[in-house]
Structure 1
Amino acid sequence: MTQSTPTSADSSGYHASPAEMRRILFSSAIGTAVEYYDFILYATAAGIVFNQVFFNDLDATTALIVSFATLAAGYVARPLGGLLFGHLGDRYGRKTILVGTVLLMGISSTLIGLLPTSDQVGILAPILLVTLRVVQGVAVGGEWGGAMLLAFENSKKESRGFASAFAYMGAPIGTVTGTLILSAMTVLPENDFLTWGWRVPFVLSAVFMTLALFIRMRVSESRVFKELSTSAEKTRRRVPAAELVRDHPRSLLTAVLVGLSGQMTQGLMGAWAVAFAVQQAMLSATEVLNVKALGGVCTVIMIVIASRLSDRLGRRRVLMAGNAAAMVLAMPVMMLLDMGSTVGFFLAIFLGLSVVQGFNSGPYGAFAGELFPTSVRYSGTSIGYQLASTLGAGFTPMIASTLVVLGGGSLWLVGALWMSFSAISLAALVASRDRGGLDIVQLDQSVTVTSTTSESPSRSHAEV
């Protein structure tokens, strides 16, 4: 496809035409939806299926914790995917890598749906499950950064927050789709559901993967990256990850810390709360999954609102408001979960998963992209986001389940954990700057000047 030419006279002149921008935004949302359909589907199944299929020789509580441990394995692998695909994306382009991540995720998820159970092959079943979960983690580790950057680098600065949020909108869209399909399977008799019903959503990954690949092949690379990569010598010699750590350590740390709260909310309300509602609050799995799906729709709406506000008020202010809301709502949400009613569960999901996560995550893509220059932007955003995901979401369901036991069934320790993560992200935001008013070229210049300035005292001293 021919690269679009700029149609506006902003100072950078790098944004795509309206028609091309629509294709990019659609590709960003749908491709990420497919990735997170698979990734979050596993998170949901870990709480209500895998403990009974792959770890059925353990007692109920231990099986749940071990099942959540396999969930954590995928999150641990995500920074590896961010490092690998971030490096390749900064050297060879965003679009090329995005095709590979969708393919890798689709194949691994389909294979999960075809796995034999522990009753059939013994210990080999959980080993294969963990292996495929790690592959899922590597794939999703490179997905979000590339999808977000195609929108980020092709959009006007006035709408960069909204455009970048399309990659994050894909997560709840994928969650809703996967949750509804899994919910439909739960109406089967329990034996049928545990035998083959849970497998259907995973096997459908092959269909969704094909659709995403078709869409991804129709978009073009961002102009700002194409211009950067015209220097063959620079492209051959650069090691983006090394450049990132050497020249932009503060920006990387900021990306990690600011991303913690949104990821923690996802792990807590998107995975642990579902298992708690089914197994301890004794709500029906079908009811819980339908409520979670409705919460996913509300999350998309909140992401749109938050990202739009970030284009007007600044990313930093909106993200700070989201973290402040999390600290205020953490304990009330725990009380709602503890009510053991469908209405209480819905309100908890709406406040925790939709409002808090929507505002903590909607503007995050643009905020993170504005921290790094084009040369390391894929590596910086991917590694930062995925490290935040591992630290914030990867172990949260397992830790939360343990804290409930330690608290004698009370959820106050879980609420305190949530508040702590939100406080960390809020502190990082207070110490950061908002670069939302700069265009794509000015962002590169701003980051370069900042890096040079930070090194200047030692250089001046050497010269003296």
Structure 2
Amino acid sequence: MDLERSRTARRAALGAFVGTTIEWYDFYVYATAASLVLGELFFPSSDRLTGVMASFAIFAVGFFARPLGGVLFGHFGDRVGRKATLVTTLLMMGAVTVAVGLLPTYSSIGIAAPVLLVVLRVVQGLAVGGEWGGAALIAVEHAPPERRTFYGAFPQIGNSAGALLATGAFSAVSLLGDPALHAWAWRLPFLVSAVLIVVGLLIRLRVEESPEFEAVRERQHERPAPVLAALRGSWRSVLLGIGLLPVAVGGYYIVTTFLLAYATGPDVGVPSETVLTALTAAAFVELVATLAASWLGDRVGPRRVLIGGLVAVAVLAAPQFLVVPTRNAALIVLMILLMRLGMSGTYGPLPTILAGMFPVEARYTGVSLSYQVAGAVFGGLSPIAATALLGAVGNPWPVVVLLVAMCLVAIGCTARAPHAGTAAARTAREGVSA
């Protein structure tokens, strides 16, 4: 029985990993393209910074659609099942990414180009809004109690693997040269998603439904809508969950997407190949380190690991940006690697901590709502805020202050977050019975 449960847990973790890898590859492909080419292709302007901010604004649109996707797919995930919902989000995400790769630019169809890009980003945001919570839960709910933090990290390393593939794809096409990249090669990483979706679908269809969801399935239609249960009985957990996440979902884009735009801009002039190669290597380091951090979380406690990662990010914030103007490739690569090593501690423990804050009946909705609202606020606005601060002051110090402040907020909310057992029991009594 234990052997079969272990096999099922590994299959669920693999399904969560592969699915989120593909979903986040799709998301990060846009983020990378927004830093490099989309501004001038879809928002032509004499000022490069204006074009970059416009492409980041469309980037933010996807984030603001994510809470709606979290509520929508959270409802079906808590009522119909985790597995069917995750298959749907995977197909949606892949179709949108391929469509972006086929989209005509401003020079071909004028204002219709950015309008269509906005529409596609909304659909992409809806799909991502329903993905992370379900993938995290299907991994955690299948896992043995003593290994929940480790297994729960697999959707998180899917995030790193997706970033690795996305930056790796753009590193490869950038070798064709800037003229080819801007003319047609930028489309290739988007179109590759069609192949990845087929692979992910085959793996995800083999994953069994969550045993914890199966145990409450028959009672689901007798209970309030999951979003009402989450907001009535678990609203404190939702707010604390949002507060746990500014660095994991927002700080990440400051040290990747914004850093790429800042370093490769005309005022600094670091070659894009240098930064893309560093980000690709850092994504691999982060992938391995996230698993190690999650293994440690099962032994010393996930909240301690999360706080340790946040402290590391705060300490590294200033050195990360101060080395960029030196144009010293070795120092830039080193600091990017160290920062992503610290970031790994902020990712791995999250699924287990968040899952323990909500009852099973409203868990998909509660976890998704917390994660996606944080994504909209911190993830969607962080690159825009960082770019605006840089433009206003002319140096990255305000961005450093912003990142450190986000770390302090996350540390405070992590310290106040309910423990796994007590939170689920309390919210089950207060919310689901309401």
For the 8 Å contact 2:12–2:138, the answer to whether it is kept is: yes
Matched AA of 1:410: N
Other structure's SS at 1:126 match: helix
Corresponding position: 1:145 with 2:130: no
**CA distance in structure 1 between the aligned counterparts of 2:388 and 2:232, rounded to whole angstroms:** 38
1:249 is matched with 235
Q: Which amino acid aligns with 1:357?
A: M
State which of 403, 406, 409 in structure 1 corresponds to 2:389: 403
Amino acid at match of 2:168: L
- Report the Cα distance in structure 1 between the residues aligned to 2:430 and 2:79, rounded to whole angstroms: 23
Give 1:348 deviation, angstroms: 2.7
Q: Which amino acid in the other structure matches residue 7 of structure 1?
A: D
Q: Indicate which of 358, 361, 367 corresponds to 2:353.
A: 367
User: Taking structure 1 as reference, are residues 58 and 72 closer, same or farther at Cα in structure 2, changes over 3 Å only?
Assistant: farther
CA-atom RMSD in angstroms:
1.8
Report which stretch shifted further, 115-124 or 301-310. 301-310
* Cα offset, 1:193, TM superposition: 1.5
Matched with 1:13 is: none
* Aligned match of 1:12: none
- 8 Å CA contact 1:336, 1:347 repeated in 2: no
Contact 2:229 2:432 in 1 (8 A): no
The residue type equivalent to 2:321 in the other structure is M
- Match of 1:161? 149
Q: Radius of gyration: which is bigger?
A: 1
1:46 to 17, 28, 34: 34
Q: Out of 198, 222, 227, which is 2:210 matched to?
A: 222
Q: CA deviation at 1:100?
A: 0.2
Matched, 1:63 2:48: no
TM-score by length of 2: 0.96
Would you say the 8 A contact 1:338–1:411 is kept in 2?
A: no
Q: CA deviation at 1:326?
A: 2.1
Q: Provide the C-alpha distance between the structure 1 equivalents of 2:293 and 2:326, rounded to a whole number of angstroms.
A: 29
Structure 2: distance between partners of 1:444 and 1:229 = 17
Distance 2:187 2:222 in 1: 44
Give the distance between the partners of 1:56 and 1:345, measured in 2 at CA: 30
Aligned residues: 433
Q: Which residue of 2 aligns with 1:414?
A: 399
Does the 8 Å CA contact 2:278/2:333 hold for their aligned counterparts? yes
Give the Cα–Cα distance (whole angstroms) in 2 for the partners of residues 79 and 53 of structure 1.
Answer: 29
Q: Give the 3-state SS of the residue equivalent to 1:73 in structure 2.
A: helix
Corresponding letter in the other structure for 1:416 = V
Q: Distance between the aligned counterparts of 1:348 and 1:35, measured in 2? A: 27
Residue pair 2:361, 2:432 contacting (<8 A) in 1 also: no
1:122 aligns with 2:110: yes
Return the alpha-carbon distance in structure 2 between the equivalents of residues 446 and 304 of structure 1: 30
Equivalent residue, structure 1, for 2:284: 297
Matches within 5 A, 1:327-338: 327-338=314-325
Q: Conserved in 2, the CA contact under 8 Å of 1:267 and 1:392? A: no
Displacement, 1:430? 2.0
Q: Distance in 1 between matches of 2:88 and 2:321?
A: 40
Counterpart among 71, 74, 77 of residue 83 in structure 1: 71
Identity of aligned residues (%): 35
Q: Which moved more, 1:354-363 or 1:98-107?
A: 354-363
Q: In structure 2, what is the equivalent of residue 74 of structure 1?
A: 62
> Displacement, 1:452?
9.8
Q: Secondary structure at the match of 1:229?
A: helix
Structure 1: which 5+ runs fail to align? 1-5, 9-15, 456-464
Distance 1:168 1:7 in 2: 25
Task: Name the CA distance, whole Å, in 1 between partners of 2:56 and 2:228.
Answer: 33
- 1:7 paired with 2:2, answer yes
Letter in 1 for 2:399: V
Q: Is the 8 A contact 1:259 1:361 kept in 2?
A: no
Conserved? CA contact 1:184–1:286, under 8 Å: no
1:421-432 alignment runs, 5 A limit:
421-432=406-417
Aligned to 2:120: 132
Q: Distance in 2 between matches of 1:41 and 1:410?
A: 27
Consecutive aligned runs of 4 or more in structure 1 exceeding 4 Å deviation: 449-453
> Structure 1 residue 443: deviation in Å?
6.7
